[in-house]
Amino acid sequence: MAKILVVDDEQSMCDFMEIMLTKEGYSVDKAGSGHEALGKTGSESYDLIIADLMMPEMSGLELLSEVKKTCPNQEFIVMTAFASVDSAIDAMKQGALDYITKPFKVDEIKMVIEKSVNRRKLRTENEFLKKQLKQDFSFDDFIGRSEEIIKLKELAKRISLTDSTILIRGESGTGKDLIAKAIHAASERSTGPFVTINCAALPESLLESELFGYKKGAFTGAVKDKDGLFKVADGGTFFLDEIGNTSPGIQVKLLRVLEDKQITPVGGIKPIGADVRLIAATNANLEEEVKNGRFRSDLFYRLNVIPIQIPPLRERIDDIPLLANYFVAKYCQRAGTETKAISPEAMRVLQDYEWAGNVRELENCIERAVLLARNDTIALSDFPSRIIENRKETIISRDKPETPTLESIEKAYIYYIMSQTQGQKAKAAKILGIDSSTLYRKLKRYRLDDTDAQA
């Protein structure tokens, strides 16, 4: 229930407003003067204050400026007689939200009040969302304590304070998006927009008009001027993902943005200014692309002023337990369950795995395991087969003595055939030239007979 303070030196006006607003479902407080109102706002907070402009001692305008000193976001509406609309306009310049002229129609005042109460609600929600956004993408959320990551975060933090172009490089799933967002959030442009586009997702002509906008009549269907994303990003950061996938035509235009801070809409003649910071990302080998003539060398050097290289996950296995536990906590929280632990054996296997999909693959794997785990510990069997199979290979190869015993060769060979046949025992037995019951026995003996082999 929204709380409203009505301030008027005319008692009858206060009473009238009280009756009307209470009927509308608001909770109402009254004050007969500006001083009384200030006394109340000192100890209570109101969603809205409605004050008469003309009051003896302290006018509504003075009250407004006093209130704004301690509570700059206070929603405030002034009431005034027809004769003094000018001062109502003054009040709005000082931060009043709206004004009501007396005598007013009940419907009108209801609407004005509803509008301002809703606006306040919206604003609180926006502030909350903004805060959340910012929090989501701070450097603290880029998990990792390996030497490489500590260095990388230091570099990224330092350059986020500058306005220079950044090229983020790394395999898919290493966190390029995350770093880009963290850089924006830590930069002076953080209150500006963060606009992102995936250059690989759109065909050239569409990408061009998305990026730079177009003029009416530039092509069939261009019925009016349209701003491009560079314009949308004005004052903020523009994140160009998968920049290695851009055509030569787009590359020339991007170079222009970097060199002159200017863009030309499709079909336009006059370039317009673009105040954006560019962050580009790629998982391609751009040097190679330059050599092959697929990527302009001048653009490459322009972009590559400050490269940030995120190492693949397999090269920083010390970060794996940290990340794994972080994701366990995240997904347990999301599922509303107590945080689970990862068994030591399972953790070892995570550290042994290749992670071609890097952190994204690890995150998916943990999300799945959290859902599958039957008790408060995540076990090996909660992981997908590809991860478990990898363990078998490493165990077998690690166990291998200098001269392998017949038994270890048999074990490795059976494992190999089992994986080749995707765990189909009948098929495997046939290839191995033994009957199924012998295979069952051997699987049991070598402890290859758990769900892992076929999962």
360 makes contact, choosing from Mg ion, ligand ATP, none, with CB < 5 to 8 Å by partner type, with: ligand ATP
Please report which residue ranges of 10-77 form alpha helices under DSSP H.
Answer: 11-23, 34-43, 60-70
Choosing from 175, 244, 265, 423, the residue that interacts with ligand ATP (CB under 6 A) is 175
**What residues between 178 and 197 interact with ligand ATP by CB under 6 A?**
178
**Contact partner at residue 109 from ligand ATP, Mg ion, none, CB < 5 to 8 Å by partner kind:** none
Separation of alpha carbons 317 and 354, rounded Å: 10
Q: Which residues contact 215 (CB under 8 A, 6 or more apart)?
A: 222, 225, 265, 266, 267, 268
The stretch among 46-54, 75-83, 139-147, 414-422 that binds ligand ATP (CB under 6 A) is 139-147
* Among 177, 234, 289, 410, interactor with ligand ATP by CB under 6 A: 177
Is 219 in contact with 264 (CB distance < 8 Å)?
no
From candidates 165, 172, 264, 381, binder to ligand ATP by CB under 6 A: 172
Q: Measured from the CB of residue 319, what is the shortest distance to ligand ATP in angstroms?
A: 7
Binding to ligand ATP, residues 312-351 (CB under 6 A): 323
* Helix, strand or coil, per DSSP, at residue 222: coil
Per partner kind, with CB cut-offs from 5 to 8 A, the member of ligand ATP, Mg ion, none near residue 367 is none
Query: What end-to-end distance do the CA atoms of the chain give, in Å?
Result: 55
CA distance 175 to 169: 10
Using DSSP, state whether 76 is helix, strand or coil.
Answer: strand
Neighbours of 146 (CB within 10 A): 17
276 contact, one of Mg ion, ligand ATP, none, CB 5-8 Å limit per kind: none
- The total of other beta-carbon atoms located within 10 Å of residue 21's CB is 20
Nearer Cβ to ligand ATP, position 175 or 265? 175
| Interactions with ligand ATP, residue window 235-294 (CB under 6 A) | 283
Q: Is cis: bond before 103, omega within 30 of 0?
A: yes
Helices (H) and strands (E) in the chain, counts: 19, 16
Q: Which is nearer to ligand ATP, 3 or 360 (CB)?
A: 360
Interacting stretch for ligand ATP, rule CB under 6 A, among 170-178, 245-253, 342-350, 410-418? Answer: 170-178
Give the chain's radius of gyration (CA, Å): 33
Within 153-182, which residues bind Mg ion (CB under 5 A)? 176-177
Q: Which residues bind ligand ATP (CB under 6 A)?
A: 142-144, 170, 172-178, 283, 323, 359-360, 363
Q: Which residues bind Mg ion (CB under 5 A)?
A: 176-177
